[in-house]
């Protein structure tokens, strides 16, 4: 066994990996305008609740949340920003209105070319549910993004399939699964039609896929991969 050849081979492989990493870093910094040019990246703003934030994969959310996976798939010519807020509601009368949050304020400043908005699951909690307030709040949020100077294309996502576990009548956290799977979706479709936002129906594409969930609401990494793929397929034409 030639130890010197083995060591040299390991060193050469490490140098190749390091070189690739340097090239990728340079590409990111160049596209971001760090060398004096303009930031030419397509900016995608993901706004929403814990399903955007990455609950279910909290320890690895920087890799496994759907916005993070979308960033990986799109590459360095895009900037995908995660403005998810756990427990957030679309309704201004909910127990944690997204419109009052720092995440919302930052999302408005993000100069988006595309906005992907998903709010509603927390609005169905027993203490929050008010269909009129939900529709009003969601409509106002969509219009606030449409009114930005960058005139982003807004995608409104119907919340994923939801189910109760352990024989309970409600899903976790007092979420009413029958509303998520029924009336909530109907309201989201109405708001999309009335505002001109493009609907992404996550519900139909996650229906019955219990193996992708951690608790009947949030997803494993594989579930967020599915959402990332659905979002990518839905918005790819807007990114050209």
pLDDT > 70? residue 119: yes
Placement of tokens 């939801």 in the chain: 162
Every domain of the chain and the residues it spans: 1-39, 41-239
C-beta separation of 140 from 147 below 8 A:
no
**Tens digit of each residue's pLDDT (9 = 90 or more) over 205-218:** 999 999 999 999 99
C-beta separation of 216 from 191 below 8 A:
no
pLDDT of residue 104: 98
Distances (CA, A) of 170 to 72, 175, 204, 215: 35, 6, 20, 12
pLDDT > 80? residue 24: no
H-only helix segments in 54-99: 61-64, 66-74
CATH code of the domain made up of 41-239: 3.40.50.1110
Residue 192 CB neighbours (<10 A) = 22
Q: Comparing C-alpha atoms, which of 203, 156, 214, 201 is closest to residue 181?
A: 203
Tokens (6 digits) for 54? 């990455």
**Tens digit of each residue's pLDDT (9 = 90 or more) over 195-207:** 999 999 999 999 9
Which DSSP symbol is given to 231? H
pLDDT of residue 43: 98
Placement of tokens 């609907």 in the chain: 199
pLDDT > 90? residue 19: no
Q: Which is more confident, 178 or 10? A: 178
Q: What is the mean pLDDT of residues 73-102?
A: 98
C-beta separation of 87 from 122 below 8 A:
yes
Kindly report the pTM of this predicted structure.
0.84
C-beta separation of 200 from 154 below 8 A:
no
Query: What are the start-end ranges of the E strands in 189-235?
Result: 198-201
C-beta separation of 163 from 121 below 8 A:
no
**Tens digit of each residue's pLDDT (9 = 90 or more) over 120-139:** 999 999 999 999 999 999 99
C-beta separation of 57 from 65 below 8 A:
yes
pLDDT of residue 57: 98
């Amino acid at each position: 066994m030639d130890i010197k050849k083995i060591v040299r081979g390991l060193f050469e492989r490490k140098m190749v990996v390091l070189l690739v990493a340097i090239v990728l870093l340079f590409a990111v910094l160049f596209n971001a305008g760090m060398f004096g040019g303009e930031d030419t990246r397509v900016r995608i703003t993901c706004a929403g609740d814990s399903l955007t934030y990455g609950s279910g994969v909290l320890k690895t959310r920087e890799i496994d949340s759907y916005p993070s996976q979308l960033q990986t798939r799109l590459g360095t010519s895009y900037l995908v920003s995660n403005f998810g807020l756990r427990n957030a509601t679309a309704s201004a009368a909910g127990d944690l209105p997204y419109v009052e949050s720092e995440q919302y304020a930052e999302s408005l400043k993000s100069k988006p070319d595309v906005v992907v908005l998903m709010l509603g699951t927390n609005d169905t909690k027993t203490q929050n549910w008010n269909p009129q307030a939900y529709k009003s709040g969601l409509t106002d949020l969509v219009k606030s993004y449409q009114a930005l100077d960058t005139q982003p294309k807004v995608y409104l996502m119907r919340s994923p399939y939801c189910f109760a576990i352990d024989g309970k009548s409600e899903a976790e956290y007092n979420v009413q699964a029958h509303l998520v799977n029924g009336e909530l979706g109907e309201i989201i479709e109405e708001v999309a039609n009335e505002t001109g936002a493009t609907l992404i129906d996550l519900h139909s594409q996650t229906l019955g896929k219990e193996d992708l969930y951690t608790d009947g609401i949030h997803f494993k990494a594989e579930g967020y991969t599915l959402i990332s793929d659905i979002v990518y397929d839905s918005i790819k034409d807007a990114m050209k």
